[in-house]
Amino acid sequence: MPERWERRQKTMHLEKRVLVTGGAGFLGSHLCELLIAQGAHVLCVDNFYTGNHANVATLRDHPRFELIRHDVCFPLYVEVDEIYNLACPASPIHYQRDPVQTTKTSVMGAINMLGLAKRTGARIFQASTSEVYGDPLVHPQPEEYWGNVNPIGVRSCYDEGKRCAETLFFDYRRQHGLEVRVVRIFNTYGPRMHPNDGRVVSSFIVQALQGHDITIFGDGQQTRSFCYVSDLIDGFSKLMASDQAGPVNIGNPGEFTIRELAETVIALTGSRSRLVNLPLPSDDPKQRRPDIAIAREKLNWAPLVQLHEGLIKTIAYFDTLLSGGRIAVAA
Ligand code: NAD
Ligand code: UDP
Ligand code: UDP
């Protein structure tokens, strides 16, 4: 065997090979960065439905980073040690644009990635969501709560797709002994959110910076709990390295009404935008707050960045983006 080839093989075995689906999206790009910093070889797979090249621009030329355009609804044959399955549009306007494709991405994507994990023996991580709790009747939401989800509404393609993906993960675990890790992510924000994805934090910041009306849906008394992206990605890393299959809630328990969020964004940007009320979309959850006792106890994880601090960083990112400056701003 030629010496160079042998050396290459050895190097390849030293580096952990990690597949990140949805790696060119908001959360995926931050995860790819962390994995590269930890010394992994990262294979980023994305069909660019909502993700883009700019999100991974700083990684593109890195020798341990590879980017493949691929739709997870189709089989994928690669050799990896770990899989993070993040591929799925996440904002309501994106996942409702082609709802059938959203369900396919969650369900067929999970089947293909689980099949890949089964063949390679890779540990596999699923980005699930607080939406599995639907419009929750238990507050805050612990992992044991089964949820209150409308199976036939406009949000169902996302909620039920993610619930079915969780079912598949735990059946592959029981039936085939796969090493699974399932995280339930609560609303996360930060640099590289899509400026036009309609999610509340990005929308309010962009509206405030542009002096447009701040669009509060309903009376603004519905609540959400907002987690800064660096805290979330730290939670991913801790869960993947742990012996917990999950599901584990990762989110910031600080709970705010949407009106409070709007007022905070106005105060931090010094904007003169007005608050206006628009109709509440159907099935919009009235309250959401994670119970993070399991993450604290089993992963030794807790969020560090509080809303003000995270919003200041996110506002700085969008300010640069909107003024035509560089897009890649560190979290
Ligand atoms: P995002 O839209 O920025 O990223 C999703 C990525 O998946 C994009 O790059 C998109 O192009 C890609 N993708 C979509 N369909 C695909 C397919 N069929 N094949 C390959 N790639 C595909 O959203 P995000 O906020 O980064 O979310 C990432 C994951 O985290 C999603 O699975 C989402 O459901 C989950 N999540 C996010 C949040 C949040 O607050 N950001 C909350 C709960 C769950
Ligand atoms: N699969 C894949 N990559 C692999 C192995 C499997 O994409 O390396 C896909 C394959 O197309 C299959 C799915 O994963 O449809 C589920 O695989 P599994 O082995 O569980 O089921 P089966 O092949 O028996 O349908
Ligand atoms: N929302 C709002 N104005 C907007 C966008 C969203 O009032 O311009 C509200 C939305 O109705 C919901 C909350 O903010 O109650 C969070 O919405 P988002 O789409 O960010 O996340 P999700 O509803 O999926 O938690």
Give the residue carrying structure tokens 């601090």: 309
User: What CATH code is assigned to 17-189+228-250?
Assistant: 3.40.50.720
Instruction: Give the model's confidence band at 14: pLDDT under 50 very low, under 70 low, under 90 confident, else very high.
Output: low
Residue 10 or residue 90, greater confidence: 90
- 212/273 Cα distance (integer angstroms): 6
Residues flanking ligand 3, CB < 6 Å: 91-92, 187, 198-200, 203, 215-217, 222, 224, 258, 280-281, 284
Residues flanking ligand 2, CB < 6 Å: 75-77, 111-112, 115-116, 118-119
- 7/21 Cα distance (integer angstroms): 29
> What is the per-residue pLDDT across 231-281, written as a single tens digit (0 to 9) for each?
999 999 999 999 999 999 999 999 999 999 999 999 999 999 999 999 999
Q: What's the pTM value of the predicted model, to 2 decimals?
A: 0.94
Instruction: Give the per-residue pLDDT at 331.
Output: 35
* Whether pLDDT at 326 is above 50: no
Scanning the chain, the segments in alpha helix (DSSP H) are: 3-14, 26-37, 92-95, 99-120, 156-176, 200-210, 229-241, 258-269, 293-299, 307-322
Instruction: Give the per-residue pLDDT at 329.
Output: 35
Mutate which of 88, 96, 100, 193 for ligand 1 pocket (most atoms within 8 A of beta carbon): 88
Q: Is 103 in the pocket of ligand 1 (CB under 6 A)?
A: no
The answer to whether residues 157 and 102 touch, using CB atoms and an 8 Å cutoff, is: yes
| Catalytic-residue membership of 49 | no
Instruction: Give the per-residue pLDDT at 325.
Output: 54
* Whether pLDDT at 215 is above 80: yes
Q: Is 85 helix (H, G, I), strand (E, B) or coil?
A: strand
- Using the Cα atoms of residue 281, residue 283, residue 288 and residue 292 in order, give the sign of their dihedral: negative
For the chain, give the percent of residues with pLDDT over 70: 94
Burial of 68 (0-12, 13-18, 19+ CB in 10 A): middle
- Closest to 84 measured CA to CA, from 20, 1, 4: 20
What residue's CA is closest to ligand 3, atom 13? Answer: 200
Ligand 1 geometric centre to CA of 2 (Å): 42
* Whether pLDDT at 2 is above 90: no
Ligand 1 atom index nearest CA of 48: 11
Mutate which of 50, 91, 101, 249 for ligand 1 pocket (most atoms within 8 A of beta carbon): 50
Residues making up the chain, counted from first to last: 331
- 327/331 Cα distance (integer angstroms): 12
| In the chain, domain spans | 17-189+228-250
* Whether pLDDT at 316 is above 90: yes
Burial of 327 (0-12, 13-18, 19+ CB in 10 A): middle
Instruction: Give the per-residue pLDDT at 172.
Output: 98
DSSP structural state of residue 77: -
**Alpha carbon 304 to its chain's center:** 18
Predicted-complex ipTM score: 0.98
What residue's CA is closest to ligand 2, atom 23? Answer: 115
> What is the per-residue pLDDT across 36-70, written as a single tens digit (0 to 9) for each?
999 999 999 999 999 999 999 999 999 999 999 99
Assigned token pair, 121: 């023996």
Tell me the ligand closest to 188's alpha carbon: 1
